[in-house]
Amino acid sequence: MSAEAARADGHAAHGADGGNWHDDHGAAPHGSFRSYMTGFVLAAILTIIPFALVMGDVFSDTRVTAFVIMALAVVQIVVHMIYFLHMNSRAEGGWTMLALIFTLVVVVITLAGSIWVMYHMNANMMLMPHDMRNMD
Amino acid sequence: MSASVSPASDGEKVVFYLEKDEHAHAGSSTALGFWLYLMSDCLIFAVLFACYGVLGRSYAAGPTPKELFDLPLVAVNTAMLLFSSITYGFAMLQMEGGKKWGTLFWLGVTGLFGVAFIGLELYEFNHLIHEGAGPWRSAFLSSFFTLVGTHGLHVSFGILWLVVLMIQVAHRGLIEDNRRRLMCLSLFWHFLDVIWIGVFSFVYLMGVLG
């Protein structure tokens, strides 16, 4: 695909769409060519950085790298939500946002809870050296 | 109590208004319903991610992510999905401009990127299984194949849906029903890209990091 053609097409579509932007029939909010491209460029940057950090062994401390990877992933998810999924607090009278927040709460509890609990269980179930001596 | 009755006693006719037209806009309620479906799908992935988070270090003396994962391949795969997201965005812009063939063209491009993604993923799975690192090898690999495979299945069904919609648009044009369907698929497609961010960050990059 040629970038020129894409840009021209996108602008044409954007221009045509300008008229019904304020069409308030409750239609899902949609983006413009500019917002899609902004999202794409941001997402590309936020993808390239973590790959470069891991493949180039940039930080000697892997914990720093891990933190940066997860932080950038969260930022990229927000970028996708705004520029590709067109999330906002007004769509559907705020119900999509409410459903999203509820889901995020459940997701955080599920993920953090599982990893936390199971990590401690693993640590507590681990045979310690002195336990092994007692086994003989 | 008496206050609420008084207008009628003035001889005025009591009229009740509904706050909203009961005949709700179909597209609007569909968007919310489809969003709720995506949120429940999100919970499925959350559970699979939690599963991988718990089991992802249980190698059973088998291969580790560092030995198995091929990051350049994952990077190409990630690019495929990101490109397919932006081309779907172009398809939506063409749809809003009322351009049927432009919409079909960008949907086709999106589908090809999707097929490339699935092709690379199947190649990776095939390679892993031939190396003896199939889902039966260790808890790490079981949870890995379940999480990444579930995402791949979603993308595959997304491609199937895309092809069906392309046929619908080609035959019937950009009618209201098809616009609504394209809008739902766009949410689904972008949602899968969001899940993939979690996969490449949490599974591949963190896995190679050790």
* The residue to which tokens 């003396």 are assigned: B61
**Assigned domain for B18 exists:** no
Pairs across A and B, CB distance < 8 A:
159
d(CA B107, CA B90): 9
pLDDT in tens, B80-111: 999 999 999 999 999 999 999 999 999 999 99
Whether residue B71 and residue A6 make contact (CB cut-off 8 A), yes or no, is: no
* Tens of pLDDT, residues A96-118: 999 999 999 999 999 999 999 98
A112: nearest CA partner in chain B: B50
CATH of the domain at B185: 1.20.120.80
Domain annotation covers residue B75: yes
- In this complex, do B109 and A50 lie within 8 Å of one another by their Cβ atoms? no
CA separation (Å) from B98 to B3, B31, B86, B101?
Answer: 54, 20, 18, 9
Residues of chain A in contact with residue B46, where contact means CB-CB under 8 angstroms, are 106-107, 110-111
Q: Residue B17 falls within a domain, yes or no?
A: no
Q: Which of B119, B2, B138, B125 is nearest to B60 (CA)?
A: B138
Structural domain of residue B45, as residue ranges?
Answer: 30-209
Whether B201 shows a pLDDT value over 80: the answer reads yes
If one counts the domains in chain B, the total is 1
B9 within some domain: no
- Per-residue pLDDT band at B29 (split at 50, 70, 90): confident
**Domain assignments of chain A as residue spans, ordered by start:** 94-136
In chain B, residues with a C-beta closer than 8 Å to the C-beta of A28 are 27-28, 31, 183, 187
Q: What is the pLDDT of residues A40-99, one digit of tens each?
A: 999 999 999 999 999 998 888 889 999 999 999 999 999 999 999 988 888 888 899 999
CB-based contact A36:A84 (threshold 8 Å): yes
How many Cβ atoms sit within 10 Å of the Cβ of residue B132?
11
The mean per-residue pLDDT over the stretch B28-39 comes to 90
